[in-house]
Chains A and B, each alone.
Chain A
Amino acid sequence: MYDKTIAEQSRALARGELSSVELTQSYLDRIRQFDGDINSYITVTEELALDQARAADERRANGDAGVMTGIPLAHKDLFCTEGVKTSCGSKMLDNFIAPYESTVTARFKDAGAVMLGKTNMDEFAMGSSNENSYYGSVKNPWDKAAIPGGSSGGSAAAVAARLAAGATGTDTGGSIRQPASHCGITGLKPTYGRVSRWGMVAYASSLDQAGPMTRSAEDAAIMLNTMAGFDPRDSTSLEHSVPDYTATLNDSLEGLTIGLPKEYIAAGLDADVEQQIDRAITEYVKLGARVKEVSLPNAGLCIPAYYVIAPAEASSNLSRFDGVRFGHRCEDPQDLMDLYLRSRSEGFGEEVKRRIIVGTYALSSGYYDAYYRKAQQIRRLIRDDFLNAFKECDVIMGPNAPTAAFDLGAMNNDPVAMYLSDIYTLSVNLAGLPGLSVPVGMANNRPVGLQIIGPHFAEARLLNIGHRLQQVTDWHLQSPALI
């Protein structure tokens, strides 16, 4: 049953073919058997999961079960989960037991879903390979010499290895889409403001967005139904009505216009990846869509703009980690400055420190206009490029990354090279647009995902487009062989 999608498991639970306790236990057994090698979980909440599974079974017996009731999920370790360790992949929060529940995890709890545990991630969501975690790298279940992608590498690997039926992730610069692509699963970054950020530890407040990571677009739609919606506790949450994302999954794609940005076929896009993307687009043409070249003239500037804006916002958000109210505190602080300097320097890893320094510099007096303000001007140009392109097409398609997953350790000495690989995902966050990644093939035996980008609030359309492909191809049903 662990091989089935959430939709199938939900139907099986409803028919009484198995209990949530059995389903949950099967995942817990698999985690014990396989996760030592993959390292996708930081915390496995075994007893809590079984308690929740028992409660779900009881709820079902009382006729009160919904589609998510009893479904075992994993949550990225930056969602505050009350009473459960919430580490953000960092030594800074290694001792942090969240005193309250995030809106996203609360919604799943209220729906009766089961939490198997908290997944590994790049520290404070900063990274594209899940090699920046205090708890060690996550391995790609398809090829353990490869990265799973990041920062939601643990969630992606857990779903790919069938160590959870679905997982939550977050995406600030590609951190759902890129690991979904590298791990051969489906991942959705919703429109900025679609899903509440309350209780989700902040990295870059104008870019962060939570989303589902699943085995299918249908499952993503099911999870998004629970996750999406206005939350008065998040001041950036938008009051936009939530449709039933599963209702339009089967809509026809006749007449859909797919925009292909000419800037996307750039030097550095791996030929095998390009081939998988092209083949997927051919499937869409067979389904009734047509293709049109569009232009995103400022596409390349997304990298410098993002790597000013995100570090700047992070430098502000991470200033709360000061050894005073929560998190790591150094031994025997001599004075306040010593408390701050040592607590922060001991608690944060190298990449986090780098980004805080870059961000602080970009915001500092004398440099603010040349860096932060300039980056925000470029942000408008990038967003406007998309708005113009969407006058000529319904959605934009392309890769999530220039190559399939690279080897563990391959980019460790060169942060800038790692940043450059984010080129296909960053602009979507800068513009606040929704983006979906669906698996479409392999390159050198490592998964490749197709990225589908839509206008603001087009999640239902994106999921429909992903689902229709998954009805005529079976890439999303493939699973890695686990030894």
Chain B
Amino acid sequence: MAIDASEVRKVARLARLAVDDSAIAATTITIGNILAMVDRMQSVDTQGVPPLAHPLEAIQRLRQDEISETDQREQLQSCAPAVEEGLFLVPRVIE
């Protein structure tokens, strides 16, 4: 399935990635080639075949709803770019 540049831009934005104007043509071709290869999947009939999400079809293990972790906020925030009073700082979100 062919893809055009505007679709690539749209998908990139969904993924919060910027594609340079200088790169968009080449990126569109490459993504198109990958999708063309992937389209080979359409050659096989999978009518009635259940999708397989987990290779051993395990189900999600549950545990008791008990507190088992300790507060490690300082340690875990030590690698953050901008922190104040235990909160992560970001540019203004609400206008």
Contacts and interface: CB of A to CB of B under 8 A. Distances in A.
B67 interface: no
Contacts of A431: 55
A480 interface: no
B17 A358 contact: no
B56 A238 contact: yes
A383 B91 contact: no
Interface residues of A, number: 73
Interface residues of B, number: 51
A378 interface: yes
| Interface residues of chain B: helix, strand, loop or mixed (majority) | loop
A383 B80 contact: no
Given A336-B90, A344-B17, A381-B49, A326 B79 contact: yes
Contact of A361 (B11, B16, B58, B80): B11
B38 interface: yes
A432 B39 CA distance: 24
Contact of B49 (A358, A377, A432): A377
Nearest to B48: A377
Contacts of A376: 51-53
A232 B63 contact: yes
B42 interface: yes
Interface string B26-37: 010011011101
A298 B60 CA distance: 28
Interface stretch (A142-150, A219-227, A367-375): A367-375
B40 to A, nearest CB: 5
Contacts of B7: 361
Given A298-B44, A303-B37, A335-B92, A379 B52 contact: yes
Interface in A308-352: 308, 315, 319, 322-326, 329, 333-342, 344-345, 348
A236 B44 contact: no
B2 interface: no
A206 interface: yes
A12 to B, nearest CB: 39
A342 B3 CA distance: 24
Contacts of B14: 360, 364
Contact of A192 (B41, B55, B75, B92): B55
A369 to B, nearest CB: 10
Contacts of A44: none
A238 B58 contact: yes
Contact of B79 (A96, A304, A375, A415): A96
A301 B61 contact: no
Nearest to B36: A416
A432 B55 contact: yes
A294 to B, nearest CB: 19
A198 to B, nearest CB: 13
B76 A358 contact: no
A356 B52 contact: no
A361 B52 CA distance: 20
A304 B39 contact: yes
Interface of A: 95-100, 191-193, 206, 232, 235-236, 238, 298, 300-301, 303-305, 307-308, 315, 319, 322-326, 329, 333-342, 344-345, 348, 353-354, 356-358, 360-362, 364, 370-371, 373-381, 383, 415-416, 419-420, 430-433, 456
Interface of B: 3, 7-8, 11-18, 27, 30-31, 33-35, 37-42, 44, 46, 49-56, 58, 60-61, 63, 72, 75-82, 88, 90-93
Q: Across chains A and B, which 5 residue pairs bring their CB atoms closest together, nearest first?
A: A432-B55, A376-B51, A380-B52, A377-B46, A340-B16
Given A98-B79, A236-B54, A415-B34, 14 more contacts: A99-B79, A206-B53, A303-B40, A307-B38, A326-B80, A326-B81, A335-B92, A339-B90, A340-B16, A356-B17, A378-B46, A380-B52, A381-B44, A383-B52
